[in-house]
């Protein structure tokens, strides 16, 4: 019996943040009950007894705004439709302004052990600029509720490179986050997505982003401060206390299989990647997912692309076990420039990005894609 993950997407928010281009909407409360109906049917339809769940991750959107009776229906459907691996990990994302004792108790009753909360930064002025609905005091209250509910494993998301953000702001945010006794930190660089209000304000010159070198220094400070607090970097943007790495994300980065449920949710099962409709109305109408069978060469590249995100890198033995080929035979001629420039390291057994390579991961992957 193989172990897979399950991702459930809840696409509803109190208010959409100015930088967000995810499939999420505010002001659509009347769609919540029909959405639960459709998602429950999808969960039960994808039930299989030849697999077991090693992780369940509920993301969004803001899953914690979903009415508790509807969330309970979906959690019950998952529990009735799948077997679970011993020690499985259940995670749900929450906005600091929407954490409640009742919601946390519901998750605990269904075996969930981990919460991921979107702090983003500690400065209220920056949070307001991003369109967030919370202030830092809400983060403090949310963290206290999470601990009181018995969750001793929770993540805080932080963002780097915000308009008007200074290195001192990043340092303060990390110190305050660590002080809340989180066990995991995600430090993501801001991406200006096309079509978002953020892009419009940056393009018009109304908002100015930090220079590339300044954002890189923010990331460097994150590396130093998290290490000083006992956190180990295990992925480009993720840091955890020992044993507190996010199992669901690790499973995906190691190219494990997972089931996707909900609007815009992606999955990967039996050599096929799929994505449900991006439109809420199409999902509710039952429009089928887009599917793509992954061929051998593409599968190899996916293993490299995902594996290089991890500090552990990609071992040749794991690559050979999965694909029947050695890394050097497939990519050795293409990684010469990256090795020479100090972006990749290869010791004959494991391929890794260097610290410099993490800054320019995409250019390294372009080299490896040559002649694909």
Which pLDDT does position 370 carry in this prediction?
A: 66
Would you say 47 and 33 are in contact if contact means Cβ atoms under 8 Å apart?
no
- Region 264-270 average pLDDT: 97
Residue 13: count of CB within 10 angstroms of its CB: 22
124-131: list long-range contacts, CB under 8 Å, 24+ apart. Answer: 125/164, 126/162, 126/164, 126/165, 126/169, 129/18, 129/162, 129/163, 129/164, 129/207, 130/17, 130/18, 130/19, 130/159, 130/162, 130/198, 131/15, 131/16, 131/17, 131/18, 131/19, 131/197
Q: What percent of the chain has pLDDT over 90?
A: 92
Which pLDDT does position 249 carry in this prediction?
A: 96
The rounded mean pLDDT for the chain is 95
Q: Pick the range with the lowest mean pLDDT from 33-42, 282-291, 317-326, 329-338.
A: 329-338
- Summarised one tens digit per residue, pLDDT across range 79-102 is 999 999 999 999 999 999 899 999
List, in order of start, the domains of the chain with CATH numbers.
Answer: 2-253 (3.80.30.20), 295-372 (1.10.10.920)
- Summarised one tens digit per residue, pLDDT across range 9-68 is 999 999 988 898 888 989 999 999 999 999 999 999 999 989 999 999 999 999 999 999
Which pLDDT does position 8 carry in this prediction?
A: 98
Which pLDDT does position 204 carry in this prediction?
A: 95
The count of residues in the chain is 372
Which pLDDT does position 275 carry in this prediction?
A: 98
- Region 291-316 average pLDDT: 96
Which pLDDT does position 371 carry in this prediction?
A: 58
- Summarised one tens digit per residue, pLDDT across range 126-163 is 999 989 999 999 999 999 999 999 999 999 999 999 99
């Amino acid at each position: 019996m193989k172990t897979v993950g399950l991702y459930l997407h809840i696409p509803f928010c109190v208010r959409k943040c100015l930088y967000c281009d995810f499939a999420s909407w505010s002001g659509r409360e009347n769609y919540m009950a029909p959405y639960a109906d459709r998602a429950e049917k999808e969960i039960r339809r994808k039930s299989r007894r030849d697999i077991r769940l090693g992780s369940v991750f509920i993301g969004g959107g803001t899953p914690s705004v979903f009415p508790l009776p509807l969330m309970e229906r979906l959690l019950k459907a998952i529990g009735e439709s799948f077997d679970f691996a011993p020690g499985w990990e259940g995670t749900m994302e929450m906005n600091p302004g929407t954490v409640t004792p009742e919601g946390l108790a519901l998750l605990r009753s269904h075996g969930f052990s981990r919460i991921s909360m979107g702090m983003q930064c500690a400065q209220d002025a920056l949070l307001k600029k991003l369109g967030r609905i919370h202030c830092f005091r809400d983060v403090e209250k949310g963290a206290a509720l999470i601990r009181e509910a018995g969750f001793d494993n929770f993540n805080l998301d932080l963002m780097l490179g915000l308009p008007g953000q200074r290195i001192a702001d990043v340092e303060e945010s990390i110190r305050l986050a660590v002080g809340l006794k989180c066990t995991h930190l995600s430090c993501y660089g801001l991406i200006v997505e096309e079509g978002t209000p953020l892009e419009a304000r940056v393009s018009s010159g109304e908002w100015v982003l930090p220079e590339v070198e300044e954002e890189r220094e923010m990331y460097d400070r994150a590396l130093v401060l998290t290490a000083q607090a006992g956190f180990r970097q295990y992925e480009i943007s993720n840091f955890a206390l020992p044993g507190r790495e996010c199992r669901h994300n690790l499973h995906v980065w190691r190219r494990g299989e997972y089931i996707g449920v909900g609007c815009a949710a992606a999955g990967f099962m039996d050599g096929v990647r799929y994505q449900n409709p991006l439109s809420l109305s199409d999902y509710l109408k039952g429009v089928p997912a887009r599917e793509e069978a992954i061929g051998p060469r593409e599968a190899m590249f996916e293993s490299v692309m995902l594996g290089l995100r991890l500090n552990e890198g990609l071992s040749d033995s794991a690559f050979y076990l999965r694909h029947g080929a050695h890394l050097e035979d497939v990519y050795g001629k293409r990684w010469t420039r990256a090795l020479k420039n100090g972006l990749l390291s290869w010791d004959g057994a494991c391929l890794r990005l260097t610290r410099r390579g993490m800054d320019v991961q995409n250019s390294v992957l372009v080299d490896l894609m040559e002649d694909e």
